[in-house]
Structure 1
Amino acid sequence: MLDPRDLRDFMDGFYGYGNPQAALWFIGMEEGGGNSLDEVGERIAIWDGLGRPECADLAVYHDRLSAGFPAIAAFFAPDGSARIQSTWRGLIRILLKAKGLTPTREKVRDYQVSKWGRSDGEARLLNLLPLPAPSTSHWPYSAIEALPELESRQKYLQAWAPRRLAVIRRTIAAFRPRDVVMYGATYNDLWEELAGGRMEQQQQDAKVRFRSDGTTRYWAIGHVSRGSNATFDAIGQSVGLSDPAGIPYSSVYEFLCAGARLAWGFGPDEAIGGFLELYPYADEASLRRELEEDFARNGQDCEGWTPGPVPFQDAARAEN
């Protein structure tokens, strides 16, 4: 039987998975699962055993959960046979496209197994509502009489959505992610509240709505479990645009290598650091590999940099 005090602590304290320092955050309605109160109790026990973090490492958390619920292990099979989770699939496609990659099914599968929701990873995954549920029509929590707000889903939503929204808003203000993608059109009013005002529609077909507060860009989309690959890729491409220049991320390698050939007067570490600042979704190892390969093709040593003309971006910065 669930301890109501532990359940309330869990509802107040657990928000999801991933890296709070990540540039890209995803926020959904609630986590799947929660088919029984026994499963919810196991989730709370795992959270407690991990030190009651606000956000956990998704792989670590689910590895422990799979001990009692073996079907969960299928999402993390390391041999190329992992089952792709329907919600994660769309979110991972968005992230990969934002990185300038082609999100094939195998790349999505590999990312889910090896990188998705990691505490040192490239994204943070938050849930607006704290309790897992397999669907909006499934509500086992009414049996917990000690928490009257759980009598019905409607009472629960009224009690907990504003409370959690306020915490998420403060967390965004503290960490200042570049982009926040919120999914689930049912909650558009709450997404606008989180974004700080009216969100304007960006793409007619994809039903994407957008708002920026000057620091963080907010994107509201439909539920990803029902979206198409084309929709996810279009959103990812939009998210991958750099501010303020608006240069597509897909051109970052060409840009970096061209700058290297111009001998900008600083080393590869500085060059890569500058691009990671502009393109927070970039993979540093890939950038370095591209740079080294470009130098090799042009007969230059990656360690040998000669002072030369300052490119126009840096000249503009110097003038300011």
Structure 2
Amino acid sequence: MVIEEKALKHWIDNFYGYGSWQAPFWFIGYEEGGGEVPEEVADKVNYFGRVHAQTGGELCDVRELYRHVAIRWDGPKKNLFTNRHQYRFESNAVQHGVWKNLIAFVHGYKAEKLPDLLAYQQHNFLSPSSHNEALIQLYPLPSPHNHAWYYSWLDMPELGFLKSRELYEAHVYEHRMHSILSNISTYKPKLVLMYGMNNINTLKKTIQDFFPDAKFKMVKAIKQQIPQHHRVDLEGVTMLITTQIPALRHNRIETGFDWEEFGKRVRSETHS
């Protein structure tokens, strides 16, 4: 399957993530995952172009999109799954390393007992009908774990900014942040967690330009408990920004944090 310029441009301009803008908890990751092979990118952007042909920032149903994203890997599990929906949501689903910690964070914040994390992923997480969570991407293009940039080879005259990651990020940043902040002002979620960010100072300035009264507080990390983060309260919305990703780095336990405990700490500060 070929990546088409029109579909890719529509994705860049209009795809924001999964779930519901009406959700009380928003998670904002640095960028959409995946993209190791061009066929996976094509599966995603073509589905989105068909189902979400309208313009304007869109959140879509991750379960429906994943039905249309084929798995093309080799290895011992290659015959277990044919698409991403089977891999994440069906009976033999594999637990997502980031999602499980985001689920734990919310339940910690809500002072609720942790559910079966895999079962919650399968049946509840990011369900647009449940309006529990939104998973939003600061940058829309699927990017692999090694952060390689595979878009520079595309011959797309209208998308010349794809020649480098730096050009692409500079091209989309201002519009996407304005849209995200506008939606925060409109929908007023209870809590917004931006994670895996490497541009903290730029983000803080953008937020303060949009919300002039915003005042950030830096909270130091507690090893293996809570990550260092920056907190700001925006018209009743708590926003957190951290460089940490809710997953272990290289599967080493000493690189992780207790995201349920992090949620509890944020709750205690909010209600103190």
Q: TM-score, normalised to structure 2's length?
A: 0.80
| Residues 1:25 and 2:26 are matched in the alignment | yes
Residue of structure 2 in register with 1:117 after alignment: 126
More displaced, 188-197 or 166-175? 188-197
1:138 aligns with 2:155: no
**Per-residue Cα deviation, 1:31-72 (whole angstroms, up to 9, x for no partner):** 111112221111011112323470011222212324888252
Residue 223 of structure 1: aligned partner: 245
State the partner residue of 2:161.
149
The alpha-carbon deviation at position 86 of structure 1 amounts to 1.6
2:140 alignment partner, SS class: coil
What whole-Å deviation, never above 9, does each CA across 1:158-178 have from its counterpart, x for those lacking one? 111222111111111111111
Is the partner of 1:141 in helix, strand or coil?
coil
- Give 1:218 deviation, angstroms: 0.5
Instruction: Give 4+ residue runs of structure 1 displaced > 4 Å after superposition.
Output: 66-69, 227-230
Cα distance in 1 for residues equivalent to 2:117 and 2:201 = 31
Counterpart contact for 2:66–2:83, Cα < 8 Å: no
Larger proportion of strand: 2
Query: Which structure carries more helix by proportion?
Result: 1
Which residue does the alignment assign to 1:167? Answer: 179
Taking structure 1 as reference, are residues 71 and 225 closer, same or farther at Cα in structure 2, changes over 3 Å only? farther
- Give the match's secondary structure for 1:9: helix
Residue identity in the other structure for 1:143:
W
How many angstroms does 1:74 deviate by? 1.9
Q: Distance in 1 between matches of 2:31 and 2:136?
A: 8
Partner in structure 1 of residue 68 of structure 2: 64
Question: Structure 2 matches for 1:252-267, cutoff 5 A?
Answer: none
Deviations 1:128-147 (A, max 9, x none): 00101113532111112322
2:219 equivalent in structure 1:
202
Give the match for residue 238 of structure 1. 265
Instruction: Judge conservation of contact 2:246–2:256 (CA < 8 Å) in 1.
Output: no
CA RMSD, Structure 1 to Structure 2 (Å):
2.4
Partner of residue 298, structure 1: none
Residues 1:76 and 2:89 aligned together? yes
Asked if 1:42 corresponds to 2:64, the answer is no
8 Å contact 1:210–1:219 — kept in the other structure?
Answer: yes
- Return closer, same or farther for 1:33/1:67 CA change in 2, 3 Å cut-off: closer
Which range moves more in the overlay, 10-19 or 186-195? 186-195
Contact 2:70 2:83 (8 Å CA) reproduced: yes
Gaps of 5+ in 2: 73-80, 209-213, 250-254
Give the aligned residue type for 1:138. Answer: A
SS at match of 1:38: helix
Q: Name the aligned partner's letter for residue 113 of structure 1.
A: Q
Q: Distance in 2 between matches of 1:50 and 1:150?
A: 24
Distance 1:50 1:59 in 2: 13
Q: 1:136 to 1:38 in 2, by over 3 A?
A: same
1:77, 1:2 → 2: CA distance? 28
**Retained in 2: the 8 A contact 1:32–1:134?**
yes
Q: Name the structure, 1 or 2, with higher relative contact order (CA <8 Å, separation 6+).
A: 2
In the aligned structure 2, how far is the partner of 1:77 from the partner of 1:70? 12
| Structure 2 counterpart SS, 1:92 | helix
CA 1:30–1:117: 2 relative to 1, 3 Å: same
Aligned-residue sequence identity (percent) comes to 23
Number of matched pairs: 241
